[in-house]
Structure formats: C-alpha cells, structure tokens
C-alpha cells in the first residue's frame, strides 16, 4: 500500500528530524515509522554534560537567576536549519522507547529534605508565589503561621496578621504599598481515626500599575509585627503586541514532589523562563492518607479508606520547593484531577482555590477553574476539565466570548492549556475526555488556536496538526507534557500495542458524560484504538522533562522539549509551529 508520508529531507538529502537524524524502520504496513538511534542520544548527552562543566567553571550561580545573564547568552541548540517546522508536516509517527538506563521509580521527598523544610518562624512569610493579573498587575501570594494536622486543630485567625506588599523599581526603595486579603482553608474528615488539617494563613495581594519590561523589587508580610520577607524581584512582561515576544515560557505538568520533580525544576530554572505554565496536577497530596503514609498508587495501597484522603502538609512542602523560581517568575496554573481532593458535603479543590491566585476576575471568568491572560504576543486560554464544559455551560459561554475578543493583530498567537489531553496515544488516559473534546474542539479550531498544552499522561507526546482526528494543516498542534516527574508511574505502553493495551470505550467517561466511540472511517474504522501509532501522533517518548516556548515573530514559534537526563541544554524534541495567515481561513491575516 502507498504511504501517506514523505520523509523529510534537508539540502544534503539526509533524512532529518529536530537536529538529529532518524533511521527508517518499516512496519508491517510498509509505512515508515522512525526511531532515534542511541548514538545520537549519547551525543546529545555528552554535549549537555560539557555545557554543564562550562557552567560550573564560570559560576553556576549566574545561570540560576533571571537577570544575571541575558537569555541570548545561553548556549543555543544545534543547527537551527535542521529544526523541522509544521509546514513540512505531517510527520511520520515516531516512537522513542524508554531509556532503560534510567531508574523507573520516582521517590517522593519527605519533610526532612532541606529544600522543603519550614525555615520561617512565627508569622514570617513563606511559600511566596507570583502570577500575572491582567496586563499591568501581578498577584503575589504567601503563607504565614503554621499549618496543623491532627486530632485537635485550632484554625488560625486570618485577621491576626496583615497582608501587606511593598514594591518599587529600585532595590530597597518601595514607593508603593498595597493591602491584600487573607484566608485559611481546612481539610476535614469526619471519620474515626482520620486527622484533620487547617492551613497556615494564605495571603494574596495585587501589585497594580506595573510598567512593562520593568524590574520590580518587593517584600511581603506584616510590617506591624516586624515580619516582612526578604526582598524579591521580578521583571514584567512586554506589553501585549504583535512584536512583543517573551523570550521563554516554561511549561511543566504533573510535577509532584519527587527527586525527579527536583530535577525537572532545576532544569527549568536553568533555562531561565520569564513565565511558567503549569498544566495541572501539582502536589499529589492525594497519594497520602492523613497519617502521612504515601504510596505510588492510592487505589492499590489504600483501597478501603472511607473517603479519598489527602495529606495536606505536602502542599506546604511543595510551596517551599517551588518558591525559588515562583517568587521571581509568574506561575500560571490550571487545575488537574489531583487538585480535586474531595471532602464530605461535596467540597472539592479547597486547597487549589485557597492557595493559587489566577487572573479569573481580570479575564471575566466567574471562578478559578478557567481564565485567560496575555503574555506579549500570545493570548492564553486556560480551560477547566473538571467543571462543566458542555455547550450549555458557563465555561463554554465564557470561552466563546473570550476567543471572540482576541485581536490577532495584537496577540497573533493563541494557545490553549488544560489538564487531560484529547490527543494522547498512550494507554494511560487514552481518549478519556472525549466529551470535552466533542464540546470544545470546534470552537478552538474555528478561532485558529495554534498550540494546545496538556498534562495528565506521564510521558511526552507531540501531535501533527489535527482536527477531529483528521490531519489538518490549519488545526492546532497538541502537546502532552505530563512528565514533570511525580510519584505515580510513568506512562510506558501505547493503546496501539494490542487489544490488552486498548481501554474500553465505555470507560471514557467523567461526571459530564460518556462519549467514547469507535472510529467510523479511516485506518482504525470500527475500533476504539489504532493498531499502530496513529497518524496524528508525530512523536512520543516516555521520559521526564519540561517544555520551553520561544516566540520568534508573529508567524514562527519554537517549541522545545528538554529531557531531565540531558542534564542542561539538550533537546529531546523541537519544532517550529508556523502560522499560515491567508492560507488557513481560521488564522486571519494580521
Ligand atoms: C529519577 O530520579 C532518579 C534519582 O535521581 C534517577 O536515578 C532516575 O533515573 C530518574 N528517572 C527518570 C526516568 O528520569
Ligand atoms: C526522609 O528521607 C530521607 C532521605 O531519603 C530518609 O533517610 C529518611 O529516613 C526519611 N524520613 C522519613 C521520616 O521517612
Ligand atoms: C492597609 O491597612 C492598614 C491597617 O488596616 C491601614 O492602616 C493602611 O492605611 C492600609 N493601607 C492601604 C494602602 O490601604
Ligand atoms: C474533623 O472534622 C470533622 C468535621 O468537622 C469532625 O466531624 C471530626 O470529628 C474531626 N476529626 C477530628 C479527629 O478532630
Ligand atoms: C497509616 O494509615 C494506613 C492506611 O490506613 C495504614 O496502612 C498505615 O499502617 C498507617 N501508618 C501509620 C504509621 O499509622
Ligand atoms: C467529527 O467526525 C465525526 C465522524 O468522523 C463526525 O460525525 C463529526 O460531525 C465531526 N465533527 C466535526 C465538528 O466536524
Ligand atoms: C518569522 O521568522 C521566520 C524565521 O526566521 C521567517 O522566515 C519569517 O519570514 C518571519 N515572519 C515574519 C512575519 O516576520
Ligand atoms: Fe492528572
């Protein structure tokens, strides 16, 4: 049979792929898939190691903090001409198998690790986070006082400590002062033997009137108690506009708090992002029961608990773990299923809602489960997969008007992010959110969304441009990047490996419906799963890592996936996403 794909060739006639070369590997259909030869990987590893040695010899410190050196002075990836672009696609499906030299397990850090120990005393601020709040403001969040867990907890009084932030453009000179708000939340379990939790005091303050591309210095805390933080700083993003290109946006998913999470975090930090997107599943406090015992699988280890318990002190450890970067660079978070953390009386997402500041009011959203924001030339829509997304929902109405308001002459790029992927060929969570896809995909397509970022599946996958399971040059590229390194298993098997690896369509359901179906046409007609890597799946590899978005201009955006085992600047997968205004009717000319 004829193959649909042409292998990419560069000028020298070599088969090329993201700066490396791939070898053909014929499958039974006669169509080529491709795998990267080990020798190339080794080269990347060695090169990355040399870079780290160079870093160490010229002082690793300056690589850690934004502002210490410019992004342009970072070591660059290989020959830019070899980076493929979507205009050359669709690409033949490629699978890179799990690197057997890595240890599969990812172990949680515990409370005695220096990275997560509570160093603040009394009402000193800790767990400082920032997040964008509209185009000229920044949320800053922090925690004071000690959380309690046990049989006799006494909630702290949020009004017992002030929520003051001071800031200005000169170190040590704070020309502005703002009072924020404070709250606490509880995680209560009315079941014999289970412990209750009450949080420290969580503060949110909004720093307003910020100028673009300006460095601000700030402190937070309670000046009346003499409990102010050390000074921190951040640099604001460029004003939204077609020529405003934030240099680096980091993307992480499903990070958790393991030794592998610390590796992902350190790699991300070394890549000096100006902004970070977290596509859900933050802490995994729900892999623990209230006595502080954790497991890689809750359902296997704790099958008979009266409710799905959590161990909330993990959130405080995680807040300390993230702070070194999150207090300097805005973190934009969207909820995952692990943030649900059910309590009795239908209470869910209590910790997420209390701790995480997002610009939902700023973007006209009624809640923290979906919102939008601009970052330079990009408009981001962050969607909620665990709140009604049906055509009659509040979320749908909000999304529709938010997308309608986007002016592509100001923000030519449109990126959507939500937790569970629509295009995922691993067994884990395969076609799990078909109802959400069926409800929202057309809307995103009509508005010419360029890129869709997801987590949930603990591996990496990049799609070809696709719409409604059909290759489409004007459809978005979907990226699964749930490979932050959490304590649950990595996704290793693919739904196309055989019937035993293919989930049942009836299991494709959530509280909003059951929409699993077998394909009507195409190579997988009559089936729920393909019998080989689907044509929409361009590249998949089970490894831990993070992503970086770099906008080149209004038509070119560079996506890079960095793997943890590549030490520093190595590239696991890379692609130019190219907009084709004029060619694609959904990508208006700007
Ligand atoms: C996870 O981290 C451990 C300990 O640092 C390491 O040995 C292992 O190879 C890592 N696993 C992966 C898949 O990166
Ligand atoms: C915490 O982790 C360290 C390092 O892995 C280990 O030595 C220690 O026993 C752990 N402590 C607890 C209480 O589990
Ligand atoms: C903040 O609150 C304090 C104490 O209530 C008050 O004295 C101060 O004027 C407030 N500052 C601002 C900027 O609102
Ligand atoms: C935890 O809180 C619930 C709800 O208020 C209560 O019923 C239960 O007795 C508390 N448990 C403990 C151990 O205090
Ligand atoms: C904690 O609770 C789990 C599940 O109920 C139980 O298996 C475990 O033995 C308990 N651990 C401790 C230290 O009490
Ligand atoms: C998607 O494809 C299915 C069947 O292939 C079709 O029934 C459906 O109408 C299509 N949806 C859209 C929005 O085009
Ligand atoms: C964007 O950059 C690419 C690559 O450098 C270039 O080919 C393209 O013409 C540029 N597009 C615009 C609109 O400037
Ligand atoms: Fe998830």
Q: Is the CB of 520 under 6 A from ligand 6?
A: yes
CA Rg, the chain, in Å? 23
100 Cα to the center of ligand 2, angstroms: 26
For ligand 4, is residue 187 a contact (CB within 6 Å)? Answer: no
* 488 burial via Cβ count (<10 Å: 0-12, 13-18, 19+): buried
Measured from the CB, is residue 181 less than 6 Å from ligand 3?
no
Residues pairing with 251 in the sheet: 277, 547
Measured CA to CA, the distance from residue 56 to residue 302 in angstroms comes to 45
| Gap from CA of 259 to ligand 5 centroid (Å) | 23
Element (H, E) at 479: strand 477-481
| Dihedral Cα 99, 279, 264, 493, nearest 10 deg | -10
How many residues are listed for the chain in this entry? Answer: 590
Active site residue 429: yes
Say how many Å lie between the CA of residue 196 and the centre of ligand 4: 6
Instruction: Compute the distance from residue 265 Cα to the ligand 2 centre, in Å.
Output: 21
Which ligand is closest in space to the CA of residue 391?
A: 6
Instruction: Give the contacts of 390 (CB within 8 A, at least 6 positions apart).
Output: 396, 435, 439, 512, 513
Dist. CA 241 → ligand 7 center (Å): 16
Q: Which listed ligand is nearest to 266 at the C-alpha?
A: 1
- What is the per-residue burial (b if ≥16 Cβ within 10 Å, else e) of 248-283? bbbbbbbbbbbebbbbbbebbbbbbbbbbbbbbbbb
**Which has the closest alpha carbon to 181: 164, 199, 200, 198?**
164
Q: Give yes or no for residue 179 CB within 6 A of ligand 3.
A: yes
Q: Pick the atom of ligand 6 nearest to 442's CA.
A: 13
CA 292 to centroid of ligand 2, rounded, Å? 13
Whose CA is closest to 160, among 222, 233, 72? Answer: 222
Q: Find out whether the beta carbon of 117 lies less than 6 Å from any atom of ligand 2.
A: no
CA-194 nearest atom, ligand 4: 13
**Whose C-alpha lies nearest to ligand 5, atom 6?**
293
Find all residues with CB under 8 Å of 385, minimum gap 6, and list them. 280, 337, 418, 419, 420, 433, 436, 510
What are the pocket residues of ligand 1 if the criterion is a CB atom closer than 6 Å to any ligand atom? 102-103, 106, 259-260, 544, 564-565
pLDDT of residue 61: 32
List, in sequence order, every beta strand (DSSP E) within 86-207.
94-96, 126-132, 138-144, 148-150, 164-168, 176-179, 181-183, 186-187, 196-198, 201-207
Please indicate, yes or no, whether the overall pTM of this predicted structure exceeds 0.85. Answer: yes
Position in ligand 7 atom list of the atom nearest CA 553: 1
35: β partners = 23
Structure tokens at 542: 């089970």
pLDDT one digit per residue (tens) for the chain, 590 residues:
232 222 222 222 222 222 222 222 223 332 333 333 333 333 333 333 333 333 333 333 333 333 323 333 333 444 455 899 999 999 999 999 988 888 877 899 999 999 999 999 989 999 999 999 999 999 999 999 999 999 999 999 999 999 999 999 999 999 999 999 999 999 999 999 999 999 999 999 999 999 999 999 999 999 999 999 999 999 999 999 888 888 899 999 999 999 999 999 999 999 999 999 999 999 999 999 999 999 999 999 999 999 999 999 999 999 999 999 999 999 999 999 999 999 999 999 999 999 999 999 999 999 999 999 999 999 999 999 999 999 999 999 999 999 999 999 999 999 999 999 999 999 999 999 999 999 999 999 999 999 999 999 999 999 999 999 999 999 999 999 999 999 998 999 999 999 999 999 998 888 899 999 999 999 999 999 999 999 999 999 999 999 999 999 999 999 999 999 997 778 999 999 999 998 998 987 66
Task: Report which bound ligand comes closest to the CA of 428.
Answer: 8
Nearest CA owner, ligand 1 atom 5: 259
Cα of 64 from ligand 7 centre, angstroms? 31
Kindly give the number of the ligand 1 atom that is closest to the alpha carbon of 98.
13
Determine the angle formed by the axes of helices 259-270 and 313-326, rounding to 10 degrees.
Answer: 20
Q: Crossing angle for the helix pair 434-446 and 394-405, nearest 10 degrees?
A: 20
How far away, in angstroms, is 418 Cα from ligand 8 center?
A: 10
Q: Which residue's CA is the nearest one to ligand 4's atom 12? A: 151
Tell me if 189 CB under 6 Å of ligand 4. Answer: yes
Tokens of 551: 């906008």
pLDDT at 590 (0 to 100)? 61
Phi and psi angles of residue 394, each rounded to the nearest 5 degrees, phi first = -60, -40
CA dist 178 and 56 (Å) reads 40
Q: Is the CB of residue 112 below 6 angstroms from any atom belonging to ligand 2?
A: yes
Q: Using a 6 Å cutoff on CB, does residue 188 contact ligand 4?
A: yes
**For ligand 3, atom 6, which residue shows the shortest CA distance?**
179
For residue 152, give the ligand 4 atom closest to its CA.
Answer: 14
Beta strand 378-382 with 413-417: parallel, antiparallel or unpaired? parallel
Decide whether any atom of ligand 5 lies within 6 Å of the 191 Cβ. Answer: no
What ligand 5 atom has the least distance to the C-alpha of 305?
5
**Nearest listed ligand to the Cα of residue 347:** 4
SS3 sequence of 541-561? ECCCEEEEEEECCCCEEEEEE
Identify the pLDDT of residue 589: 66
Torsion sign (Cα): 8, 13, 14, 20: negative
Helices (H), 496-547: none
DSSP per position, 213-259: T-EEEEEEEEGGGTEEPPPEEEEPPPPSSTT---S-EEEE-S--SBH
Closest residue CA from atom 9 of ligand 7: 555
Report the alpha-carbon angle 263-266-269, nearest 5: 150
**Candidate list 429, 458, 494, 546, residue with the active-site label:** 429
CA dist 319 to 171, 230, 255, 312, 469, Å? 25, 16, 12, 11, 39
**C-alpha 370 chain-centroid distance:** 14
DSSP 344-358: GGG---HHHHHH---
Q: Is 81 in the pocket of ligand 2 (CB under 6 A)?
A: no
> How far apart are the CA of 49 and the centre of ligand 2, in A?
30
- Could you list which residues have their CB under 5 Å from ion ligand 8? 281, 336-337, 456
Q: Judging by DSSP bridges, how do beta strands 573-578 and 477-481 pair with one another?
A: unpaired
User: Which residues 6+ apart lie within 8 Å of 571 measured at CB?
Assistant: 18, 19, 44, 77, 78, 560, 561, 562
3-state secondary structure of 182: strand
pLDDT at 337: 98
Atom of ligand 5 nearest to the CA of 293: 1
**Nearest ligand (C-alpha, residue 263):** 1
The ligand whose atoms approach the alpha carbon of 293 most closely is: 5
CA 335 – ligand 8 centroid, Å? 9
Q: Are 196 and 207 in contact (CB under 8 A)?
A: no
Q: Closest Cα to atom 8, ligand 5: which residue?
A: 293
């Amino acid at each position: 049979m004829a193959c649909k794909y042409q292998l990419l060739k560069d000028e020298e006639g070599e088969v090329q792929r993201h700066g490396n070369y791939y070898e053909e590997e014929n499958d039974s259909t006669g169509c080529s898939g491709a795998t990267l030869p080990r020798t190339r990987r080794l080269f990347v590893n060695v090169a990355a190691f040399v870079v780290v040695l160079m870093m160490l010899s010229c002082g690793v410190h300056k690589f850690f903090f934004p502002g210490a050196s410019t992004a342009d002075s970072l070591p660059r990836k290989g020959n830019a001409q070899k980076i493929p672009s979507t205009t050359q696609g669709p690409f033949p499906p490629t699978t890179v198998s799990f690197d057997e030299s890595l240890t599969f397990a990812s172990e949680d850090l515990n409370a005695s690790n220096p990275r997560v120990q509570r160093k603040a005393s009394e009402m000193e601020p800790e767990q400082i986070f920032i997040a964008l709040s509209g185009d000229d403001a920044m949320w800053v969040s922090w925690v004071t006082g000690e959380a309690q867990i046990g049989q006799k907890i006494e909630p702290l009084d949020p009004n017992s400590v002030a929520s003051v932030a001071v800031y200005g453009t000169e170190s040590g000179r704070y020309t502005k002062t703002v009072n924020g708000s404070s709250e606490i939340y509880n995680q209560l379990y009315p079941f014999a033997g289970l412990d209750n939790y009450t949080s420290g005091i969580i503060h949110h303050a909004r720093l307003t009137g910020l100028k673009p591309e300006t460095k601000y210095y700030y402190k937070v805390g309670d000046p009346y108690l003499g409990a102010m933080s050390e000074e921190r700083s951040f640099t604001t993003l460029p004003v939204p506009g077609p020529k405003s290109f934030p240099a680096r946006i980091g993307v992480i998913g499903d990070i958790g708090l393991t030794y592998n999470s610390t590796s992902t975090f350190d790699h991300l930090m070394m890549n000096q992002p100006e902004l970070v997107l977290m596509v859900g599943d933050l802490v995994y406090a729900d892999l623990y029961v209230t006595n502080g015992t954790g497991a890689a699988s809750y359902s296997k280890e704790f099958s008979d608990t009266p409710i799905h318990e959590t161990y909330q002190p993990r959130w405080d450890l995680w807040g300390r773990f993230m702070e070194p970067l999150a207090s300097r660079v805005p973190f934009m978070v969207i909820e995952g299923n692990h943030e649900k953390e059910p309590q009795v009386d239908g209470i869910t997402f209590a910790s997420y809602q209390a701790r995480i500041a997002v610009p939902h009011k700023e973007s006209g959203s009624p809640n923290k489960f979906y919102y939008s924001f601009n970052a330079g030339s990009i408009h981001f829509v962050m969607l909620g997969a665990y709140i009604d997304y049906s055509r009659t929902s509040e979320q749908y109405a909000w999304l529709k008007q938010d997308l309608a308001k986007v002016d592509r002459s100001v923000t030519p790029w449109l990126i959507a992010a939500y937790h569970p992927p629509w295009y995922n060929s691993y067994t884990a969570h395969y076609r799990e959110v078909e109802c959400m896809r069926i409800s929202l995909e057309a809307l995103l397509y009509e508005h010419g969304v360029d890129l869709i970022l997801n987590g949930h599946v603990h591996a990496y996958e990049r799609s070809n441009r696709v719409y409604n399971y059909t290759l489409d040059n004007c459809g978005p590229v979907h990226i699964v990047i749930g490979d932050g390194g959490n304590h649950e298993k990595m996704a290793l098997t693919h739904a196309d490996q055989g019937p035993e690896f293919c989930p049942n369509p009836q299991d494709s359901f959530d509280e909003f419906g059951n929409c699993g179906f077998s394909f009507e046409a195409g190579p997988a007609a009559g089936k729920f799963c393909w019998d080989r890597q689907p044509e929409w799946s361009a590249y998949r590899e089970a490894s831990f890592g993070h992503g970086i978005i770099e906008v080149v201009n209004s038509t070119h955006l560079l996506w890079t996936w960095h793997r943890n085992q590549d030490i520093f600047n190595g590239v696991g997968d890379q692609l130019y996403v190219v907009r084709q205004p004029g060619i694609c009717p959904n990508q208006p000319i700007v």
